[in-house]
Amino acid sequence: MISKYTFMKPELSLHHLQNVLKLLDDHYFSIQQLPILHVLQLFSDQVLNDQILVELAELKRARLLMNLGLGKDAEALVDDVGSRSYVLNEEEKKVNFEKIKALKDPADDLKSKQIPFHAVEDGAPFVLEQLRIHESWLALAEEHIKWGHYVQAKDLLKEVNLHARILKDQ
């Protein structure tokens, strides 16, 4: 059981879990990723209460099961995810855009292809204060592309592009 009250900085714990998962993936420890993905799913559900990250962890776990030759288990997990799949609706787009609208650069019309922005210095420290919704959308869109769900990925990536452009987070 995981209690959300035991984590003072849950975003930092999520970051470390994702780093462990990436490290295991980089060194081809596929089987060892399964428990980390399950913990990531529980952590996202119980502590962060973020259904996007829950779906992301489940899709990654299903893909890993498929790669390990456990197709029936993977298909069952994908069917379960598909029944409650995250869909970005217009209301959520509007609410999230309103949150960042004040940060928009007045010189940027959000339509031109060239985007002038200044890169952050390399020596700047990494500060993780909160999860940004567009980063979760991006990770979910990448997973949807890997599964061949291109329409869902396209919708998410359009919003990711808009948010990243406004926040100068390319």
Helices and strands counted in the chain (H then E)? 7, 0
CB-CB neighbours of 27 under 10 Å: 9
Q: Give pLDDT, residue 87.
A: 80
Task: Classify residue 89 as exposed, middle or buried by CB count within 10 Å of its CB (0-12, 13-18, 19+).
Answer: exposed
Q: Give pLDDT, residue 38.
A: 94
Q: Please give the backbone phi and psi of residue 25, each rounded to the nearest 5 degrees, phi first.
A: -65, -40
Is-above-0.75 flag for pTM?
A: yes
Task: Classify residue 129 as exposed, middle or buried by CB count within 10 Å of its CB (0-12, 13-18, 19+).
Answer: exposed
The predicted-structure confidence for 80-109, as pLDDT tens digits, reads as follows 888 788 888 888 888 888 877 777 766 666
Can you give the residue ranges of every domain in the chain?
1-86, 88-170
Least confident of 2-11, 100-109, 149-158: 100-109
